[in-house]
Structure 1
Amino acid sequence: MTETPPRAPLPPFSYDEAIQKVRMAENAWNTRDPVKVAQAYTIDTRWRNRSEFPMGRAEVQDFLTRKWAKETGYRLIKEIWAHDRNRIAVRFCYEWHNDHGQWFRAHGNENWEFDDLGYMAVRHASINDVPITDEDRLFHWPEGTARPDHHPGLTELGL
């Protein structure tokens, strides 16, 4: 049996460590790489994402593959809301467009719970999509890359 390496930072999280964990998640999701992103979750992770309930890393990877096939032009910003020991609450927005070119801004909240090795064991996400025009877009950096450090976050953008 292979030992699972720790995924720092580890709980219990300080405020700065929780912020680091949020940015690490944001950067990973912005790659749109389902294999890479799924590795941040426990092998038996439990999710609620809108009306889907993936169970386990393999189902998460399948879910993300379907998600990013549909949500093109995907760019995400996450911001910490609160944290306590092994839990972090975040709010987020992401922009994406469908195959007809209609842009959307998704607004959501996530509640995360981590195991002792720093892997996310539970993820609850509530998300709402709002249609926007191309002119209303606020997330302008190359798709598939991390948000640049100089790009404003949600609070600075008024979201």
Structure 2
Amino acid sequence: METRPPVPPFSREDALAKVRGAENAWNTRDPQRVSLAYTVDSRWRNRHEFVEGREQIVAFLARKWEREREYRLIKGLWAFGDDRIAVRFAYESHDADGQWWRSYGNENWEFDEHGLMRRRHASINDLPISDAERLFHWDLAGPRPDDHPGLDELGL
């Protein structure tokens, strides 16, 4: 059986590590890599889409990152319990026409005993922004640098 530490029950430090690990993985924009953090039968609600299982997760993420170009994400811990973590997040990307967007949201996560996410519920709102309003500036080839401000520091 796969294990993805840290595993429940989560301490504050564990929850912070899970959140940063998820942010770093999503910022790779690699659907296959990201899918490995979820159970094989993981269930998602993402906006109006319902996704079940790793195959559908990979397909969903491939479509997402085809539309959301130059995607950069910041996640922040909101709350945590034994096997659950709530996060808030924001990401910036642009569409095929060059319009930049900042998307804000909240996620509720539930994990199995091996530290794999078995449920993910995401609520997301989108705001068109100009290039000058962008706040997320780091090299697309890597994760958000440790010295780059988080959501609170950016006033988000």
Q: TM-score range by the shorter chain?
A: over 0.9
**What CA RMSD, in Å, does the superposition of the two structures yield over aligned residues?**
0.5
Consecutive unaligned residues in structure 2, runs of 5 or more? none
Q: Name the SS for the 1:125 alignment partner.
A: strand
Consecutive unaligned residues in structure 1, runs of 5 or more? none
Instruction: Give the counterpart of 1:113 among 91, 110, 114.
Output: 110
Q: Does 1:99 align with 2:93?
A: no
Instruction: Give the counterpart of 1:54 among 26, 51, 54.
Output: 51
1:6 shift after superposition:
1.2
Q: Name the SS for the 1:90 alignment partner.
A: strand
1:22-50 alpha-carbon deviations (Å, 9 max, x no partner):
00000000000000000000000000000
Q: Paired residue for 1:19?
A: 16
8 Å contact from structure 1 (residues 32, 144) kept in 2 = no
Q: Single out whichever of 136-145 and 121-130 deviates more from structure 2.
A: 136-145
- Equivalent-residue separation in structure 1 for 2:140 and 2:94 (angstroms): 12
How many residues in Structure 1 have an aligned counterpart in Structure 2? Answer: 156
Q: Paired residue for 2:87?
A: 90
- Equivalent-residue separation in structure 1 for 2:36 and 2:105 (angstroms): 22
- Equivalent-residue separation in structure 1 for 2:139 and 2:103 (angstroms): 18
Identity of paired residues, percent?
Answer: 62
Instruction: Give the counterpart of 1:126 among 123, 127, 130.
Output: 123
Q: Which runs of 4+ in 1 moved over 6 A?
A: none
